[in-house]
């Protein structure tokens, strides 16, 4: 039997790997092929080495609080190359247009934090007395936060957090899909604060950021290596069509037949190659985001880059969405005597910032960094990685969109959606979903055998 996985990002690679493992365990003889459009696998994940710097084009790591990625890495035999973020990089900051303010890492510190005024804090503390929403309808992240903890919490805390994860706009993002945990806590406990107290989670961090000594590209190398000849690069798929009980896939001038197909491409691609999915895929918005790496002499930035990094509020007036102090977090990210600052610009609120011509972008970002951190002058090294369509933003109603698409695909039979367009944007979401999708594919193939 033959299974095709379209898209060689982390979602596609992990799913293909799990299909191989699960079908072997079930005694099924399944030949899996991954079709990747580019000349390399990894999609958004890629590590570039240049001038002694180790640069991530996309993600800097994953949290170790969910086990799926760690288990996959252990299975691949790549665990020894892992690297946990430095503990001293735990401090995180918010920039509000005037100054950098440390995010409270414990509930007690919230009371004395400058992050909100007294009235903003009192509004947050009213949260346990606010009745839970009765209807189960989806709502925006902004609507949820305003209902439960008020305007200042939205502007000063949740807004920047939404920028950090989705480069998104809380007014448009779906609560149920983008923050399912927050949605679930209100349903289960009636209040976020009551839930925190019951779960004794307080302000504890949700895990440790984890990467590899040689960067996140190591995860892709390990998976691609394990899949061997199953991976075809420079193999962009143009069309996926039903053919008898199976599927016909067109790449270049060839057609190939498969018993089952997993689609792990961005929504704007899926809508094109599988026209039946076009309507649902059009609902998913991808804002542009650009990553700008800046390398400075240690003497230039001494005392100016404390902790993990910072995020900015929408009203701060800066064109910098946030920055991480990469050399505080992981070793080997810069040559001896230098430090690396990784800046993000653009996103759903300021898409035009990501699309600036590179000279202008660089000077704008450096100006922003100088204003926020006090780092003066041009960096010794820079590298720009634009993502024209960066991270899928799940709009209000996303759960219904996904359900509709799943129903359609289920009726067609033998075709399974995967990828960050539908099931979470984190690397952990991709590795977790890969097991579920692979199990469904193996069960389907067993049925058609
Ligand atoms: C700047 C940035 C920072 C991020 N930081 C983090 C982070 O720190 N931690 C975290 O957990 N997540 C982070 N993310 C999110 C995470 O990286 C992504 O959600 C995840 O890597 C997406 O994986 P994917 O396989 O679903 O999609 P993709 O990586 O988009 O893979 C899709 C693949 O499909 C291929 N493709 C496209 N068209 C075709 C076609 N016609 N035929 C065949 N193949 C095709 C593409 O070339 C690509 O390889 C970040 C994202 C960005 C952009």
Going by C-alpha positions, the residue among 226, 223, 261 that lies closest to residue 431 is 223
pLDDT number for residue 203: 47
> How many residues would you count in the chain?
449
Domain with CATH 3.50.50.60 in the chain: 2-43+218-284+395-448
Measured from the Cα of 390, ligand 1's closest atom is 53
Contacts of 38 (CB under 8 A, 6+ apart): 8, 233, 234
What's the CA angle centered on 114, arms 109 and 116, to 5 degrees?
95
Q: Which of 39, 44, 167, 388 has most ligand 1 atoms within 8 Å of CB, for mutation?
A: 44
For residue 376, the CA-to-ligand 1 centroid distance in Å is 34
Q: What is the pLDDT of residue 137?
A: 94
CATH 3.90.660.20 domain position(s) in the chain: 65-71+81-89+287-387
Q: Using CB atoms within 10 A of its CB, is residue 343 exposed (0-12), middle (13-18) or buried (19+)?
A: buried
What is this structure's pTM?
0.96
Confidence (pLDDT) at 107: 80
Q: Give residue 88's pLDDT.
A: 78
Q: Which CATH class is domain 120-198?
A: mainly alpha
CATH of domain 2-43+218-284+395-448: 3.50.50.60
In the numeric block, the tokens 């759960």 are attached to 399
Cα(43) to centroid(ligand 1), Å:
5
Record the tokens describing residue 131, joined without a space. 């009745």
The token duo for 372 is: 């926020």
DSSP code at position 314? G
The answer for residues whose C-beta is within 8 angstroms of residue 19's C-beta and 6 or more apart is: 3, 5, 30, 32, 262, 438, 441, 442
For 401, phi then psi, to 5°, come to -60, -45
Q: How far is the CA of 115 from the centre of ligand 1 (A)?
A: 33
Instruction: Give the C-alpha separation, 401 to 435, whole Å.
Output: 22
Strand stretches in 156-274, DSSP E? 209-212, 231-232, 237-243, 246-251, 254-258, 260-263
Q: Which protein residue's CA is at the shortest distance from atom 8 of ligand 1?
A: 59
In order along its 449 residues, the chain shows pLDDT tens digits of 999 999 999 999 999 999 999 999 999 999 999 999 999 999 999 999 999 999 999 999 999 999 999 999 999 999 999 999 998 788 999 999 999 999 988 888 888 999 999 999 999 999 999 999 999 999 999 999 999 999 999 999 999 999 999 999 999 999 999 999 999 999 999 999 999 888 866 545 578 999 999 999 999 999 999 999 999 999 999 999 999 999 999 998 899 999 999 999 999 999 999 999 999 999 999 999 999 999 999 999 999 999 999 999 999 999 999 999 999 999 999 999 999 999 999 999 999 999 999 999 999 999 999 999 999 989 999 999 999 999 999 999 999 999 999 999 999 999 999 999 999 999 999 999 999 999 999 999 998 86
Ligand 1 atom, smallest distance to 12 CA: 25
Residue 341 to residue 53: CA distance in whole angstroms: 11
Instruction: Answer for the pair 261, 354: CB distance below 8 angstroms, yes or no.
Output: no
Q: Is the CB of 274 under 6 A from ligand 1?
A: no
pLDDT for position 192: 92
CA 65 from chain centre, in angstroms, equals: 15
Amino acid 202: pLDDT: 54
Instruction: Please work out whether the CB of residue 390 comes within 6 Å of at least one atom of ligand 1.
Output: yes
- Decide: 66 and 428 in contact? Cβ < 8 Å: yes
Q: Please state which CATH class domain 65-71+81-89+287-387 belongs to.
A: alpha beta
Residues 6+ apart with CB under 8 A from 408: 276, 277, 280
Given ligand 1 and candidates 6, 7, 236, 329, which is best to mutate, with the most ligand atoms within 8 Å of its CB?
7
Task: State the span(s) of the chain assigned CATH 1.10.3110.10.
Answer: 120-198
Helix (H) or strand (E) holding 125: helix 118-125
CA dihedral 158, 159, 164, 170 (to 10 degrees): 100
Q: What is the reported pLDDT for 348?
A: 96
- Best of 43, 68, 92, 437 for a ligand 1 pocket test (most atoms within 8 Å of beta carbon): 43
Q: Which residues contact 447 (CB under 8 A, 6 or more apart)?
A: none
| Any ligand 1 atom below 6 A from CB of 62 | yes
């Amino acid at each position: 039997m033959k299974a095709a996985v379209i898209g060689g990002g982390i979602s596609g690679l992990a799913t293909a790997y799990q299909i191989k493992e699960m079908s072997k365990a079930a005694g099924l003889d399944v030949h899996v092929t991954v079709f990747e459009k580019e000349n390399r696998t990894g999609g958004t994940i890629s590590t570039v080495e240049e001038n002694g710097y180790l640069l991530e084009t996309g993600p800097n790591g994953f949290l170790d609080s969910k086990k799926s990625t760690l288990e996959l890495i252990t299975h691949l035999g790549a665990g020894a190359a892992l690297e946990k973020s430095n503990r001293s990089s735990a401090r995180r900051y918010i920039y509000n247009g005037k100054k950098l303010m440390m995010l409270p890492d414990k509930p007690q510190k919230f009371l004395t934090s400058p992050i909100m005024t007294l009235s903003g804090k009192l509004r947050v503390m009213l949260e346990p007395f606010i009745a839970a929403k009765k209807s189960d309808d989806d709502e925006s992240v902004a609507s949820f936060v305003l209902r439960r903890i008020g305007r200042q919490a939205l502007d000063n805390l949740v807004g920047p957090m939404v920028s950090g994860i989705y480069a998104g706009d809380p007014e448009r993002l779906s609560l149920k899909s983008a923050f399912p945990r927050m949605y679930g806590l209100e349903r289960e406990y009636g209040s976020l604060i009551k839930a925190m107290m019951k779960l004794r989670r307080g302000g504890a961090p949700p895990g440790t950021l984890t990467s590899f000594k040689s960067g996140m590209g190591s995860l892709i190398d390990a998976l691609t290596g394990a899949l061997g000849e199953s991976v075809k690069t420079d193999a962009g798929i143009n069309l996926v069509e039903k053919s008898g009980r199976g599927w016909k896939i067109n790449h270049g001038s060839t057609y190939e037949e498969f018993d089952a197909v997993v689609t792990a491409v961005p929504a704007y691609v899926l809508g094109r190659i599988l026209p039946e999915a076009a309507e649902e895929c059009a609902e998913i918005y991808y804002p542009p985001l650009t990553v700008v790496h800046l390398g400075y002499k240690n003497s230039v930035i001494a005392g100016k880059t404390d902790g993990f990094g910072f995020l900015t509020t929408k009203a701060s007036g800066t064109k910098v969405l946030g920055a991480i102090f990469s050399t505080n977090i992981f070793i080997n990210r810069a040559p001896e005597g230098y430090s690396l600052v990784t800046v993000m610009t653009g996103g759903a609120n300021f898409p035009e910032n990501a699309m600036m011509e590179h000279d202008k972008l660089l000077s704008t970002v450096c100006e922003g960094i100088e204003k926020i951190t006090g780092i003066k002058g041009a960096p010794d090294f820079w590298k720009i990685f634009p993502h024209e369509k960066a991270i899928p933003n799940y709009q209000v109603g996303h759960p219904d969109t996904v359900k509709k698409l799943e129903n359609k695909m289920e009726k067609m039979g033998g075709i399974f959606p995967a990828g960050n367009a539908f099931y979470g944007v984190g690397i952990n979401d991709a590795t977790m979903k890969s097991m579920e999708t692979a199990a469904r594919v193996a069960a389907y193939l067993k049925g058609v055998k």
